[in-house]
Amino acid sequence: MVRVLHAADFHLDSAFRALPEEKARQRRRESRQLVERMVDYANDHDVQLLLLAGDLFDSADIYSQTGRELATVLKRFAGHTVIAPGNHDCYSASSPYALLDWPENVHIFRGESLERLDFPQYNCSVWGAAFVEPECHVDLSGWQAPEDGNVHLMVLHGDLSSGEGNYRPITPAQIAGTGLDYLALGHVHSCSGLLQAGRTVYAYPGCPEGRGFDELGEKGFLTGTVGRGAVRLDFVPFARRRYQVFSVDVSEGDAEELIRRSLPMGSQEDICRVLLTGEREAPVPLERLTRQLADCCYHLELRDKTRPREDLWQRQEEDSLRGLFLRNLKEQMEGCSEEERQRLIEAARFGLAALDNREL
């Protein structure tokens, strides 16, 4: 058994353009610090192999300190790091992978064809390849791990697909044919969980930090043990901040208080988008609300999805299904309790939304 930590798609030095400039700078710092935290975690949990499946950098044009800090941090790792450059950080003579002074415990694949690294101390071999241009069409067709008694791993940046694509397209059938014990993939930014094709277990860990509202929720890495025919890896949430989206109905009551009550515990550290829904007499004062709620989240974005309030019963005399629906509800309200009356009003709101083919 070898103890591994599988991560990918850090995209260090991303612009974070949707954030104010000072917070964007802070997020870039936090992304660099994430690697340091991850190495500390790996050392604390006796990880032997750190498998980094590409797109560590968002591009070849990085801040000089980013590469130097990464090399310095990886030198502190007690085991060995294996890197397979991806489409955003492809290997070239001018890439950070070629220009930086990497420590001896860091191994970087440099060509499109698969190469082998042996770690006899772990009875393990690690295979991998690099993107050498932003696109790669070399797949796994016909390749098979040797039967030599070793645990065989592979680190690869690639796109699990039907076999077509520009980012090293890989099919489940190709994976099944490799006979690998574990295939550590990068490229997809959500964790796939452990998947299997033939005897080979494979997975995407997702990105360790979200960078926008298309990367919601918990982000992290996979870690555990890999042996011959035995893979036990768990997902570890590790992001400093999450991107989250919530909907809040602000039809009745104070909008600020309704939003505060709706945000879950822990959102103070997160980047949140709140969609304001329902019906209101006047538009929501977004700028004022955003200032008032600044303490609720690291960064808050409010979007007004409300509608002007309308008289629920104004169309009850229509000669239509809508009119019949409203008249029946209005008749049921005669003599009923206040609790039942509120339920019927809610039924009218939902029913009209369905009849008008719109969201409530």
Structure tokens, 58: 């968002």
% of the chain with per-residue pLDDT over 90: 76
Q: How long a stretch of residues is the chain?
A: 360
Query: How many angstroms separate the CA atoms of 358 and 274, rounded?
Result: 19
Looking at residue 309, its pLDDT comes to: 76
pLDDT tens digit sequence for 321-342: 888 888 888 888 887 888 888 8
Q: Does 26 have pLDDT greater than 80? A: yes
- Asked whether residue 265 carries a pLDDT value surpassing 90, the answer given is no
Residue 255 has pLDDT above 80, yes or no: yes
CB 175 within 8 A of CB 140: yes
pLDDT score of 335: 79
Is the model's pLDDT at 358 over the cut of 80? no
Percent of the chain surpassing pLDDT 70: 99
User: Residue written as tokens 């340091």?
Assistant: 36
- Please say whether the beta carbons of 124 and 153 come within 8 A: yes
The sign of the CA dihedral 150, 104, 132, 32 is: positive
Give the model's pLDDT for residue 178: 97
Average pLDDT over residues 251-280: 91
Of 56-70, 72-86, 289-303, give the lowest mean pLDDT range: 56-70
**What CA–CA distances, in Å, run from 11 to 153, 200, 346?**
23, 28, 46
Among the ranges given (82-86, 221-225, 348-352), the one the predictor scored with the smallest mean pLDDT:
348-352
pLDDT classification of 275: cutoffs 50, 70, 90: very high
Confidence category of residue 270, pLDDT binned at 50, 70, 90:
very high
pLDDT over 70 at 359, yes or no: no
pTM of the model: 0.86
**What does the alpha-carbon distance between residue 73 and residue 38 come to, in Å, rounded to a whole number?**
10
Distance, in Å, from the CA atom of 72 to the CA atom of 284, rounded to the nearest integer, reads 49
pLDDT tens string 203-231: 999 999 999 999 999 999 999 999 998 99
pLDDT over 80 (residue 138): yes
In this predicted structure, the answer to whether residue 360 has a pLDDT above a threshold of 70 is no
CA angle at 74 for the pair 73 and 76, rounded to the nearest 5°: 70
Which pLDDT score, from 0 to 100, does residue 348 have? 82
User: Is pLDDT above 90 for 90?
Assistant: yes
Residue 347 contacts by C-beta under 8 Å, 6 or more apart in sequence? 329
Q: What is the 3-state secondary structure (H, E, C) of the chain?
A: CEEEEEECCCCECCCCCCCCHHHHHHHHHHHHHHHHHHHHHHHHCCCCEEEECCCCECCCCCCHHHHHHHHHHHHCCCCEEEECCCCCCCCCCCCHHHHCCCCCCEEECCCCCCEEEEEHHHCEEEEECCCCCCCECCCCCCCCCCCCCCEEEEEEECEECCCCCCECEECHHHHHHHCCCEEEEECCCCCCCCEEECCEEEECCCCCCCCCCCCCCCCEEEEEEEECCEEEEEEEECCCCCEEEEEEECCCCCHHHHHHHHCCCCHHHCEEEEEEECEECCCCCHHHHHHHCCCCCCEEEEEECCEECCCCCCCCCCCCHHHHHHHHHHHHCCCCCHHHHHHHHHHHHHHHHHHCCCCC
Nearest to 49 by CA among 10, 83, 2: 2
Instruction: Tokens for 12, please give them.
Output: 């260090």
pLDDT per position as a tens digit, 170-205: 999 999 999 999 999 999 999 999 999 999 999 999
Distance CA 247, CA 163 (A): 39
* Average pLDDT of every residue of the chain: 92
Q: Can you tell me the distance from the alpha carbon of 192 to that of 185, in angstroms, rounded to the nearest whole number? A: 10
Q: What does the DSSP assignment read for 141-202? A: TT-----SSSEEEEEEE-EESSS--SB-EE-HHHHHHH--SEEEEES-SS----EEETTEEE
Q: 335 or 127: which carries more pLDDT confidence?
A: 127
**The pair of three-digit structure tokens given for residue 227, joined into one six-digit string:** 């042996």
The pLDDT score that the predictor gives to residue 89 is 94
